[in-house]
């Protein structure tokens, strides 16, 4: 019995440590894909874990480990300090705490589809690299052509858009199908851009996910294995790739507008421009937010803010006393981003109702049912989100 009490649990076997030098600063990370965890370390923590983890994987006797920890840290910490971090982030094999993806909690979404991509990437990696170079060539040629047209043919462009005035009489089944295809292409090619650049830079694809934020607004995103341990410059390339592909599509639709003078391709420009703006606004978990977090070194700040909000929900008075002004401001930012997300869902409901009006579907019963479904779903997911936040607090 005494022997068992001196033994620590087995830590997960996929803990990675990473050091990233970027913009004259060094960032340190520890991650576990199995437990869906990553945390930012300071230099001292990184040095301790880099030396101590090999012993933790081989030895489980607490007394022996404590002596080794004391030796490595030169008496600054004990094994209990290390174990507290590992327990806090659920990094033991036999932990009964359920590991939940940070992405899924942060989105507070209902997962519809998750498609594994790792084996697919391994099988066709060389083909994806060829596609990457083809894409680069198309991108370069299209940008040059667009710059030439804007510089020397701007009057023709203006005349084209004047002739491409939208008229409701032109709406038919074929034009609606064209618009649907343009919307899907803006999303699919955006994600393909992320994937091709990630493959080229050595990232491991994990899965393609389709979910509904608050159970209403659809969202597509790619998950990578241990994304945070890659170099910052490579993360920036991957994160910006999707938006660059949308800009490429804008250039292509601009050429098609010039050739056909059709408003349908002007819609393609609008759709992709909306995608660029939506992705680059640094709110929620957008590409823009992640780019800023990498550039300015606050990768784990949003997750920290969610944890602080969780603790505040459980003990508001105590948390207000303990948190710094910066923590409180960041929590306010996170709350505002979620409020804007709910506002976006409301705008989606309005768009659905306006579509019904355009199609001459003005039935009050249908309107009440649609609003009722959307409102009920949103309330349910807000309640689930608050429950998830409360459960984040480490006891």
pLDDT at 3 over 50: no
Render pLDDT for 152-170 as a digit per residue (tens, 0 to 9): 766 666 666 666 555 556 6
- Measured between alpha carbons, how far is residue 164 from residues 158, 161, 207, 281 in Å? 10, 5, 40, 29
* pLDDT band for position 108 (cuts 50, 70, 90): low
Question: Going by DSSP bridges, is the β-strand pair 25-32/217-224 parallel, antiparallel, or unpaired?
Answer: unpaired
* pLDDT band for position 239 (cuts 50, 70, 90): very high
- What is Dmax (Cα atoms) for the chain? 87
State residue 148's pLDDT score.
78
Task: Please state the three-class secondary structure of the chain as a single string.
Answer: CHHHHCECCCECCCEEEEEEEECCEEEEEEEECCCCEEEEECHHHHHHHHHHHHHHHHCCEHHHHHHHHHHHCCCCCCHHHHHHHHHHCCCECCCCCCCCCHHHHHHCEEEEEEEECHHHHHHHHHHHHHHHHHHHHHHHHHHHHHHHHHHHCHHHHHHHHHHCCCCHHHCCHHHHHHHHHHHHHHHHHHHHHHHHHHHHCCCCEEEEEEEEECCCEEEEEEEECCHHHCCHHHHHHHHHHHHHHHHHHHHHHHHHHHHHCCHHHHHHHHHHHHHHHHHHCCCCCCHHHHHHHHHHCCCCHHHHHHHHHHHHHHCHHHHHHHCCHHHHHHHHHHHHHHHHHHHHHHHHHHHHHHHHHHCCCCCHHHHHHHHHHHHHHHHHHHHHHHHHHHHCCCC
Reading across the β-sheet that carries 205-213, which strands appear in turn? 109-116, 205-213, 217-224
The percentage of the chain sitting over the pLDDT mark of 70, rounded to a whole number, equals: 77
Contacts of 188 (CB under 8 A, 6+ apart): none
Question: Going by DSSP bridges, is the β-strand pair 109-116/25-32 parallel, antiparallel, or unpaired?
Answer: unpaired
Q: Which of 5 and 60 is assigned the larger pLDDT?
A: 60
Q: Which residues pair with 83 in a beta bridge?
A: none
Render pLDDT for 61-72 as a digit per residue (tens, 0 to 9): 888 888 888 888
Instruction: State the pTM of this model.
Output: 0.77
State residue 387's pLDDT score.
72
State residue 101's pLDDT score.
54
State residue 103's pLDDT score.
53
Question: Going by DSSP bridges, is the β-strand pair 109-116/205-213 parallel, antiparallel, or unpaired?
Answer: antiparallel
Q: Which of 105 and 200 is assigned the larger pLDDT?
A: 200
pLDDT at 316 over 60: yes
pLDDT mean across residues, the chain: 79
pLDDT at 41 over 70: yes
Question: Going by DSSP bridges, is the β-strand pair 25-32/37-41 parallel, antiparallel, or unpaired?
Answer: antiparallel
State residue 395's pLDDT score.
41
Q: What are phi and psi of 29, to 5 degrees?
A: -135, 155
Render pLDDT for 253-304 as a digit per residue (tens, 0 to 9): 888 877 777 778 888 888 899 889 888 887 767 888 888 888 887 776 666 6
Reading across the β-sheet that carries 25-32, which strands appear in turn? 15-22, 25-32, 37-41
Contacts of 287 (CB under 8 A, 6+ apart): 239, 240, 242, 243, 279, 280
State residue 1's pLDDT score.
38
Render pLDDT for 351-376 as a digit per residue (tens, 0 to 9): 777 766 766 666 677 777 777 777 77
Do the beta carbons of residue 156 and residue 261 sit within 8 Å? no
Render pLDDT for 171-209 as a digit per residue (tens, 0 to 9): 677 877 888 899 889 989 999 999 999 999 999 999 888
Q: What are phi and psi of 24, to 5 degrees?
A: 80, 5
Do the beta carbons of residue 35 and residue 99 sit within 8 Å? yes
Most confident of 11-15, 193-197, 226-230: 193-197
State residue 119's pLDDT score.
93
């Amino acid at each position: 019995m005494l022997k068992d009490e001196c033994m620590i649990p087995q830590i997960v076997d996929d803990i990675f440590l990473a050091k990233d030098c970027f913009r004259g600063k060094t960032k340190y990370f520890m991650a576990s894909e199995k437990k869906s965890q990553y945390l930012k370390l300071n230099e001292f923590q990184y040095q301790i874990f880099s030396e101590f983890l090999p012993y933790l994987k081989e030895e489980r006797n607490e007394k022996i480990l404590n002596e080794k920890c004391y030796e490595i840290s030169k008496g600054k910490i004990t094994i209990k300090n290390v174990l507290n971090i590992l327990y806090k982030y659920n990094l033991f094999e036999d932990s009964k705490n359920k590991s939940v993806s940070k992405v899924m909690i942060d989105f507070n979404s209902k997962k519809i589809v998750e498609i594994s991509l790792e084996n697919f990437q391994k099988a066709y990696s060389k083909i994806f690299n060829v596609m990457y170079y083809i894409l680069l060539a198309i991108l370069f040629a299209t940008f040059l052509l667009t710059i030439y047209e804007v510089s020397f043919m701007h009057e023709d462009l203006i005349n084209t858009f004047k002739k491409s005035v939208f008229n409701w009489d032109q709406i038919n089944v074929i034009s609606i199908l064209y618009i649907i295809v343009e919307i899907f292409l803006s999303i699919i090619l955006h994600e393909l851009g992320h994937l091709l650049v990630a493959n080229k830079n050595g990232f491991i694809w994990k899965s393609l996910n389709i979910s509904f934020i608050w159970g209403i607004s659809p969202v597509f995103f790619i998950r990578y294995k241990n994304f945070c341990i890659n170099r910052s410059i490579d993360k920036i390339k991957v994160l910006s790739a999707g938006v660059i592909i949308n800009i490429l599509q804008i250039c292509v639709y601009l050429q098609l507008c010039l050739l056909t003078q059709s408003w349908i391709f002007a819609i393609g420009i609008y759709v992709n421009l909306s995608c660029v703006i939506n992705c680059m606004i640094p709110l929620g978990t957008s590409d823009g937010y992640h780019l800023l977090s990498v550039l300015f070194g606050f990768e784990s700040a949003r997750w920290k803010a969610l944890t602080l909000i969780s603790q505040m929900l459980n003990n508001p008075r105590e948390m207000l006393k303990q948190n710094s002004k910066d923590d409180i401001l960041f929590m306010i930012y996170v709350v505002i981003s979620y409020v804007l997300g709910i506002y976006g869902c409301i705008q989606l409901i309005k768009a659905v109702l306006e579509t019904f009006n355009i199609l001459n579907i003005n039935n009050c019963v249908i309107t009440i049912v649609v609003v009722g479904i959307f409102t009920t779903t949103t309330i349910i997911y807000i309640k689930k989100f608050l429950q998830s936040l409360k459960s984040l607090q480490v006891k």
